[in-house]
Amino acid sequence: MAPWAQSAKRRLRSLFPAILTVLAIALLWQLGVPLLNVPGYILPLPSAIIDLVLSAKVHWAYNAFLTLAEALLGFSVAAIVGVALAAAIAFSRPLRTVAEPLVVAAQLIPKVALIPVLFLWFGFDVVPRIVAVFLVCFFPIVVASAAGFMAVDENLADLVRSYSSSKLLMLRKVSFPVALPSIFAGLKIAIVLAPVGAVVAEFISSQAGLGFLILAGEEQLNTTLVFAATAVLILGAFLLYGIVLIAEKLVIPWSNS
């Protein structure tokens, strides 16, 4: 069996306890709600949620694709800009002195309060939703990547400098490979936050998407729709996270992260 197949098999086995726990909770939920006489509009049954997810009453594929596409686009831009800025911060002390406080200050700004302003700046289309995802993903990517770039062993750095004074060579041959595990650690945090940023932005203004469905369910007191859209969002987030995991295994197969 190939190494990647063995790794995938081990990962699937490690998921069994979590899957069994989720199934146990769902069973208790299914049995407990009728016993406690909880109305369906307060807490719907898992079976009702699954029926709605599997039904054709809601265009799940279109709405999920829209939200996940917004999340992936914002995340991709944040990854490119964040890793580039982290490399610049690691290699330039003056830039680090200026940029680090600004990055921290930007993180302290409440994103939920800023999202309505984004719609005023960029219009009421998909752009402000992508920008919102970018803002949510940017900070963890920059922090984790910068830590990775600055974790290069000084002895190794001196050895490379003795052969070449090029900072580009240092970045390409030493700093970037060393930083890759940290970069992917930041990417894995950010990819989970990305769908949340997209949904929050859809709460402000959207005509489709999982955030739109959640908001519509709340307005109609349709908690089954709220739970179903949330379940689809969770599955989509797992899908995006899995894509990043696969990319990590392909790019840095030697890493045990």
Domain coverage including residue 89: 59-251
Residue 49: inside a domain, yes or no?
no
CATH code: domain of residue 115: 1.10.3720.10
Residue 164: inside a domain, yes or no?
yes
Given a cut of 80, whether residue 12 has pLDDT beyond it is no
Residue 24: inside a domain, yes or no?
no
CA distances from 91 to 65, 95, 97, 164 (A): 39, 9, 12, 16
* H or E element at residue 48: helix 46-54
Residue 103: inside a domain, yes or no?
yes
pLDDT interval class at 3 (50, 70, 90) = low
Give the per-residue pLDDT at 39.
84
Residue 107: inside a domain, yes or no?
yes
Residue 81: inside a domain, yes or no?
yes
Over residues 128-159, the pLDDT tens digits come to 999 999 999 998 999 899 888 887 766 666 66
Residue 145: inside a domain, yes or no?
yes
CA distances from 215 to 47, 100, 221 (A): 22, 37, 10
Domain count, the chain: 1
- The structure's pTM equals 0.84
Residue 84: inside a domain, yes or no?
yes
